[in-house]
Amino acid sequence: MGLFDVFKDEDKDSDNGGMTEEYRSEDTPSDFQSEPEPAAEETTSYSQPEAAVQSQLGIEELMGKRLKLEEAIDYVGGMIKNLKEKRTNLVKTIEDESVDIKNLKEKLTKINQFIQEENQGLEELTRKRSEVEKDADDVGNIVYSLRDKISEIDKIVANEGNRIKSFKDSKSSYQNP
């Protein structure tokens, strides 16, 4: 198990967590060999001590670690690329939502404006109705006043009629004795 194999195992379930072959093939040469193979014809004692020297110095391990580090860097690069794509998608989604919210806000502003205009219209109607009611009350008061005046005039006319009748009756009683 390699140094960063833990990360690879976790991301196998995710949709874009791993590195793509295209990305890996750009950064790591496919003809790289971790250990040079000695030629079959060279069986001299010189090549065997060279392999022993490389083992003692840990060059093979160092080359293996370098290869794993390159793979880890490639893996992290793929993760960064995926994060950038996700961020770009989030930015686009947020911009879309922002546009939708601005549209809703404009609609709500128009609705609010309509409600204010309707309220003003209702207030105007209420004011006009109050004026009409006042005018109706004034007309009613005038009618009652005129009725009272007509009643007074009727009483006066009736009284005068009675006076005239009594004057006629008294005049005829003077003439007919």
Q: pLDDT for 120-175, tens place per residue?
A: 999 999 999 999 999 999 999 999 999 999 999 999 999 988 988 888 888 777 66
Domain parsing of the chain, residue ranges: 5-94
> For the chain, how long is the longest CA-to-CA vector?
190
Average pLDDT over residues 97-111: 96
Q: With contact defined as beta carbons under 8 Å apart, do 3 and 69 qualify?
A: yes
Q: Go through 35-66 and write b for each residue having 16 or more CB atoms within 10 A of its CB, e for each that does not.
A: eeeeeeeeeeeeeeeeeeebeeeeeeeebeee
- Token pair in block for residue 124: 């105007």
CA 137 to chain centre: 53
| 83 vs 63: CA distance, rounded Å | 30
Average pLDDT over residues 45-52: 54
pLDDT digit string, tens, across residues 69-103: 999 999 999 999 999 999 999 999 999 999 999 99
pLDDT digit string, tens, across residues 139-151: 999 999 999 999 9
Average pLDDT over residues 14-32: 44
In this predicted structure, which of 24-38, 67-81, 111-125 has the lowest mean pLDDT? 24-38
| 34 vs 16: CA distance, rounded Å | 29
- What pLDDT is attached to residue 56? 65
Instruction: Give the torsion through C-alpha atoms of 81, 87, 91, 93, to 10 deg.
Output: 100
Q: With contact defined as beta carbons under 8 Å apart, do 70 and 28 qualify?
A: yes
Average pLDDT over residues 105-117: 97
139, exposed or middle or buried, with CB in 10 Å at 0-12, 13-18, 19+? exposed
Average pLDDT over residues 64-70: 93
| 105 vs 114: CA distance, rounded Å | 14
| 177 vs 172: CA distance, rounded Å | 9
